[in-house]
Structure 1
């Protein structure tokens, strides 16, 4: 199963390639705490770092300078240089990689991954279900708080057949009175159901986001096969940053790079990922409706 950290690596490999773009890196020679304003790197590779932004694990740090003999790196602005650009100052273990001027910081990749997961809804939904018991005079029943929409409703028939037939006449109420329904969500079941029989409501809910590096992708509620779809969506979100960075180049640098990296290269790559994303999204939508058909609908007035 794919973890959050593995998903980040897949995105980085798509954006940077496996060998064509190699960032300058060093490694921590000793552990560092969240409060340290200096840290020790391997002296033989500390020269790979430059003044400015470095990344250790998910944290961005501003570097003021380093000593080539001892490998000690000083943080710019003291504690203000830790947890830069909205990242969190954290402890880091010895031998953690220190990446100089990362093209795509892990923190930004993780944000984009979660944005891609969240925006798959409502095109692709996460399914859940709840079971109600028909009460003779009651037509409206409460639903769980995570219910975003009702997919279908079935009612248990009387007798030994064990058939649960579709109930076509129902109404989902996402603005129910909280005095009657604490979650503020309810369903009106208008199809006839024998009192005491079970009513099964299959509903759609939004996906969960990933938090920890070890979180499995399926904790979002989506199946493992959606991983490539999320990777394509994430690349599509991150690639415009390369085009923006191009605008900041000096005239000489832009002239030298132009023959190798033509203008709008990032935009064309983004269009490619957008095409891959839309193709996979359509495939999964068709599979979703095939796997869980929405055969019940509201017929009331």
Structure 2
């Protein structure tokens, strides 16, 4: 009989509930605890997930010390998840977070050292490198169908008029306002602060490309629009609409990768927001830009792309 993993959910907002539902329904997992610094949000999550027997916590260390969990699912502010994951592993509790795992090299090493020291498992989720076409393109490259890939590019351009830009630190309620909302004790969310350098949210683009290439980046040059939004000139938030990086790999591939989250673009649903292309000496492949498009492949001798 497989061991039942007792899981604690840390960060009980919409994302936490959506991912928590997957774990709740897994036959080898039982969600035994929910933690959020805003008790009302944890209570709502318990109701939405129908977890009447799960314990609710507003303090992270109290939850760790209660002996209720074997592992944690962290769906909270990514700027604090490294610290929380490491603290969990120090207590013998496994941890999983979503991308980005960390924003600095030092924080990456903190995760590595915590795993090595404690023997706990750390899992990085929300990985686009496991999409089906990424597997297929990897096989094509490994089997020589693309020849030497000289150029690869990708982007994640995802515009929403309703990003959660502000949080009321008293209630945990979010606001999509561009400027600071009136009343309440509003502080900028991690998203609002990240939009000044959107390329920090690059794992959805860079990770699958590096997996396909089996390569690593050795040089980077990056540029973006000014800090001071072109999309919202009246409010003038500290956003860059787009950032792009030109990269060179150890295997001699040039990559162009970009990200933007405040540049108006066709709504999600018409597009997946993600796009990738590889150009090799024996073939090229390209992913769809919209739901009306298709994956394409080209090899020398073909007059045009084949869907």
Shorter-chain TM-score bucket reads: under 0.3
Q: Which has the higher contact order (CA 8 A, sep 6+)?
A: 1
Larger-Rg structure: 1
The structure with more strand, counted as a fraction of residues: 2
